[in-house]
A = this chain, B = another copy of it.
């Protein structure tokens, strides 16, 4: 029971039990090949000494680990933890354990985690990358660690990916607002260096053009991050516009922005959706639980996680694996924030 002591090895257990080291290993790995009395002796010794198998040695021998890792952009965004839940579920079925790593939107940290995980020889890496085109993602896969990009499609065919059609998602959101009769709409999101934001904005523009509406009545309001605070800021900018030109509807690039916008709108005495209709994106749990339940574009979060896990396992175990790009279809969930 002394934390400072060297850790107990199979050799120590063998000595204590008065058997050879191979027998101890047999107790651990093929208990049926060991006689009952011997087995009991060994198990007793293990308990008495507080033996804990050394996974490094095990893995060094076996050549692979029982872990998959998911490197997320932002652990505080419920969207990613929901995807992670999907991963956990299907990883568990394959007897794999999940470690979540937070890159915090920092390319340096992302790289460092990727290096560490490769060195650990994890079974596979799932990642929502800062930059899906970064060379080092391809290197990882090339060096033998299966890797799947989550929430971004890959243009190349040299990596697996699971994603949602964000252009379509943007379309759905704006078509819905057009259906509700809006002719002045704000798109709120940014920075545009984030691919997801770019795609949703593009979809919004397409829907707008298809409806024959003039481009200048679809307003772009960029933010510096996809957070609640930025959403409130965008609301203030919106309020500042002269009422003639002020959009009566907003499509936010994610739900955190939409929740911030919602709060600022209600807080300044205006009503949702009467004074401002709001559409979010992701359909996180807080969206339906908002003071005014939020219309949002739903992504199949658990399925993203599940599919990504299946792909990474296939890449790890199936010699005939071919890289696959899976795209899911988003769905608009209409609630009070646009329906009144």
Residues of A whose CB lies within 8 Å of any CB of B are: 1-5, 7-8, 50, 52-60, 63, 65-67, 69, 75-76, 78, 81-82, 84-85, 88, 97-102, 104, 112-113, 116, 118-121, 139, 141-144, 146, 228-229, 232, 259-260, 262-263, 266-267, 285-286, 289-293, 315, 319
Q: A138: nearest residue on chain B (CB-CB)?
A: B1
Establish whether residues B54 and A60, one from each chain, have CB atoms under 8 Å apart when the complex forms: yes
A102 in contact with B102 given A3-B141, A228-B286 (CB within 8 Å): no
Query: Most chain-B Cβ atoms within 10 A of its Cβ — which of A50, A82, A112?
Result: A50
Closest 10 pairs (CB-CB, A-B): A291-B291, A55-B119, A99-B99, A100-B100, A228-B289, A56-B60, A56-B56, A56-B59, A1-B142, A50-B143
Q: How far is the CA of A102 from the CA of B315 in the complex (A)?
A: 25
Number of copies: 2
Establish whether residues A260 and B232, one from each chain, have CB atoms under 8 Å apart when the complex forms: no
Residues on B with C-beta less than 8 A from A119 are 52-55, 58
Establish whether residues A97 and B121, one from each chain, have CB atoms under 8 Å apart when the complex forms: no
Residues on B with C-beta less than 8 A from A53 are 119
Residues on B with C-beta less than 8 A from A60 are 54, 56-57, 60
Q: How far is the CA of A2 from the CA of B321 in the complex (A)?
A: 12
Establish whether residues A52 and B143, one from each chain, have CB atoms under 8 Å apart when the complex forms: yes
Q: How far is the CA of A146 from the CA of B292 in the complex (A)?
A: 46
Establish whether residues B143 and A319, one from each chain, have CB atoms under 8 Å apart when the complex forms: no
Shortest Cβ distance from residue A313 to the other chain B in the assembled complex, whole angstroms: 14
Q: How far is the CA of A143 from the CA of B8 in the complex (A)?
A: 9
Shortest Cβ distance from residue A39 to the other chain B in the assembled complex, whole angstroms: 20
Q: A319: nearest residue on chain B (CB-CB)?
A: B4
Q: Which of B3, B5, B104, B289 has a CB less than 8 Å from the CB of A315?
A: B3
Establish whether residues B66 and A116, one from each chain, have CB atoms under 8 Å apart when the complex forms: yes
Q: How far is the CA of A67 from the CA of B104 in the complex (A)?
A: 17
Q: How far is the CA of A267 from the CA of B337 in the complex (A)?
A: 12
Shortest Cβ distance from residue A96 to the other chain B in the assembled complex, whole angstroms: 11
A263 in contact with B285 given A55-B119, A55-B121, A60-B56 (CB within 8 Å): no
A5 in contact with B144 given A100-B101, A119-B55 (CB within 8 Å): yes
Q: How far is the CA of A52 from the CA of B119 in the complex (A)?
A: 6
Establish whether residues B104 and A101, one from each chain, have CB atoms under 8 Å apart when the complex forms: no
Q: Which of B65, B76, B98, B262 has a CB less than 8 Å from the CB of A82?
A: B76
Q: Which of B55, B81, B285, B286 has a CB less than 8 Å from the CB of A116?
A: B55
Establish whether residues A120 and B56, one from each chain, have CB atoms under 8 Å apart when the complex forms: yes
Residues on B with C-beta less than 8 A from A315 are 3
Residues on B with C-beta less than 8 A from A82 are 76
Residues on B with C-beta less than 8 A from A99 are 69, 99-101
